[in-house]
Structure formats: structure tokens, C-alpha cells
Amino acid sequence: MNFKDERHRRQFEDMYEQYKVPLRTIAYKCGIPREEMEDVIHDAFVSYARSDYDLELPEEERRRLLSRILKNRCIDYFRELKRHGCYSLDDERYYQERSLTKDKGRELVDDMIGDEKCRAIIKEIQKMPENWKEVAILKMLEGRSTEEVCEILNISEKACYSRVARIRKYLDKLLKDENWP
């Protein structure tokens, strides 16, 4: 994270120390596993910093804002768990999940055959350049709308569509390779 100066960095660190315990309580109440709490809380603070919220906000407003950001990160955590659920085609849960989505927003990962390929796709996404990875996670794994992805990443729709097309082409090429994974 880039801070304007040393004073801003110290303010942010102080805020982190002040709110990390109360935020841990919120994460616990939201059902985040203990081993994942620090990551979810850290993501909330990173989101706060990236959004350029004023560090001079009144304490009550800052507390509410951080709480709201953390609750959204908790929702994202569970959404990601659900989206990363890898089922084989002989698993009843796969068909239940597919019937719930009714092919709405069907994406490449939804059509993978078998746990091994699903895990391999996720690993490939994690290795992608950061600008591709962000789009792949938000759009293809989490199922967010193009408008939402553009807003989160501060990119144009054209850039989003272009990245999704390149990602799909890349993953499709991998899937057609008989030696992969």
C-alpha cells in the first residue's frame, strides 16, 4: 500500500491495532474459521486503504465503515468457498448445485469435469498476471456482474470483456491439451 507520508502509515497502523480485536469478534460471529480470520481482517483493512477513505474520519464513522467492509469480506469468503467447491460429475451435489443456478451466468469453471481439473484451473488462475487473476476470481469464480467487476477494479467494460475473453481462450487451450493437468 502506498501512503502519502510516514504520518499516514502510522495512522493506518494505529487504526489496525485499535480495531483488529473488535473486527476479530465480528468475523467470529460471522462464522469465519479461526485459521482464516486474520486473512479476512487483513483484507478488510486493505480494502479500506485501497478505497482511499480518510484516516481522519470520526471514530464512530470509521468503526461503522470498517465493520461494514469486514462483513462484506466475510460474505466474499463464504461465496468463494461455495464457488471453489469442486464436485465430480458422479456427485449428487454437482447436480443440485447446477439445478440451483439454472445455467444462469454459466462460466467455464462450472463445466469442468472432475475434481482434479477443477483444482488445476484454480491453480492456473492463481498463477495468472494480477490483472487477469483479479478479473478471473471476481467474474468467473465469484460470479459477479461485469458492472460490479468494473467498479471494484476501476476498469472499463471493454477492458473487462477483453480480459475475460483472453482468460477463457487461455484456459480453453489448457483444457484441450491432453497432457494437462
* 76 in any annotated domain: yes
* 96 in any annotated domain: no
* 49 in any annotated domain: yes
Dihedral class, residue 64 (left if φ above 0, else alpha if ψ from -120 to 50, else beta): alpha
- Domain that residue 70 falls in: 6-83
pLDDT per residue rounded down to tens, the chain (181 residues):
556 678 888 888 888 899 989 999 999 888 888 888 898 998 888 888 877 777 788 888 888 899 999 998 888 888 777 665 544 444 454 444 444 444 444 444 444 445 677 778 888 888 899 999 999 988 887 788 888 899 999 999 999 999 999 998 888 888 888 777 6
> Looking at residue 141, what DSSP letter applies?
I
* 61 in any annotated domain: yes
Q: Give this prediction's pTM.
A: 0.46
